[in-house]
Amino acid sequence: MTSQKVRKAVFPVAGLGTRFLPATKAVPKEVLPLVDRPLIQYAIDEAREAGVTDFIFVTAKGKSALENYFDGAPDLVRSLKAKGKTDLLAAIEPSNMASGAISYIRQQEALGLGHAVWCARRLIGDEPFAVILPDDVIASDQPCLSQMVDAFEQTGGNIVAAMSVPESQISSHGVIDPKGRNGRLVEMKGMVEKPDAQDAPSNLAVIGRYILNSSVMANLAAMKVGAGGEIQLTDAIADDIRHGVATYGCQFEGQRYDCGSKAGFLQATVAFALARDDLRQEFGDFLVSMMAISEAAE
């Protein structure tokens, strides 16, 4: 059991979002709305619920809209108050961040996820920290990062979110080399970044949630180039395992949506819309009618 608390979270948001061009030519991918909240808001909300108080964004040129989203909007607030629109005031409340809660760091070169995380090293210091990739949106009763924090408080070390994936997707992920299992926690003896399916040690893929020991930053400082010619976070975690740091995969409860892809984003939109009391009936009726039209056309 560890007494250390996870207070800091790193959000790597420097990517160009090329799979969503032309929209991302002007709007950062992280600000694209999933129903009526931007992707980054889901990530921030999840971190807050897990006890995170310090939010570190690793950004790049062209991300001003992302930064502006979390600024105060006094004119808008006054207008909504004057019109008595309390529901809309409540809707924008989660985007209000206390002064100093968010730090912004520029990643000068796109050298990989590991490099993006390393850019936050001075703000992390010697504390354990979380990493959240906003592309991965997870619908669950208990937020994924909260599940991982609960596990971390019992185990310490490093914890990565893990899920089983079909063979066709293995080569797109970091993959866990398992050592043993305790319920939903899988102790790891190694990690492999994007292996061919026939060479993969398991079908347990790492997805975009991590709780990491600060020692990972020292590993990243070596600037070791890995798969895809990039500095991989999974390689730094694998180094920790070789150095004897206990590391676990947490098979979280919930449904993950890959909102870094168009199909995944659309799937998440449908699922989140149908989960809303104010949208379920109208939107559900529309989907049924569209399916009927599609079937008739066949």
Q: Are residues 289 and 160 in the same domain?
A: no
Question: Do the beta carbons of residue 31 and residue 64 sit within 8 Å?
Answer: no
Residue 227's pLDDT band (boundaries 50, 70, 90)?
confident
For the entire predicted model, the pTM comes to 0.91
Please report whether residue 2 resides in a domain: no
Q: For position 109, what pLDDT does the model report?
A: 86
- Regarding whether 204 and 179 lie in a shared domain, the answer is yes
Residue 54 and residue 182 in one domain: yes
CA angle 259, 262, 263 (to 5 degrees): 90
- Tell whether 72 and 191 lie within a shared domain: yes
Specify the DSSP element, H or E, that contains 136: strand 136-139
More confident position, 124 or 181: 124
Based on the fold, state whether residues 12 and 27 are members of the same structural domain.
yes
Two structure tokens written together for 101: 């809660």
**Is the model's pLDDT at 130 over the cut of 70?**
yes
**Residue 107 is assigned to a structural domain of this protein:** yes
- Reported confidence tier of residue 1, pLDDT bands at 50, 70, 90: low
3 lies in some domain? no
Quick check: is 194 in a domain? Answer: yes
| Across 122-146, average pLDDT | 95
Q: Which domain holds residue 124?
A: 8-260
Mean pLDDT, range 49-66, rounded to an integer: 91
Rounded to an integer, the average pLDDT of 21-41 is 92
State whether 293 and 251 are in the same domain: no
pLDDT at 285 over 80: yes
Domain count, the chain: 2
Positive or negative torsion for Cα 198, 204, 208, 214: negative
Residue with tokens 């949630």: 209
55 and 197: one domain? yes
> Where residue 22 falls among pLDDT bands split at 50, 70, 90?
very high
246 and 282 in a single domain? The answer is no
- Per-residue confidence (pLDDT) for residue 281, from 0 to 100: 95
Read off the pLDDT of each residue in 15-40 and give the average, rounded to a whole number. Answer: 91
Same domain, 132 and 57: yes
Q: Residues 224, 280: one domain?
A: no
User: Would you tell me the crossing angle of helices 39-49 and 144-155 to the nearest 10 degrees?
Assistant: 40
Distance (Å, whole) CA 255 – CA 288? 23
Question: 287 and 202, same structural domain?
Answer: no
pLDDT band at 94 (very low <50, low <70, confident <90, very high): confident
Q: What CA–CA distance (Å, rounded) separates 134 from 41?
A: 9
pLDDT at 2: 67
The answer on 157 and 27 residing in a single domain is: yes
CATH number, domain of 19, equals: 3.90.550.10
Tell me, yes or no, whether 1 lies in a domain.
no
Q: Could you say which DSSP state residue 70 is in?
A: T
Q: Is 85 part of a structural domain of the chain? A: yes
The Cα-based distances of 39 to 32, 53, 84, 121, 166 in angstroms read 6, 19, 28, 24, 25
Is the pLDDT reported for residue 296 higher than 90?
A: no
pLDDT band at 164 (very low <50, low <70, confident <90, very high): very high
Residue 203 in domain = yes
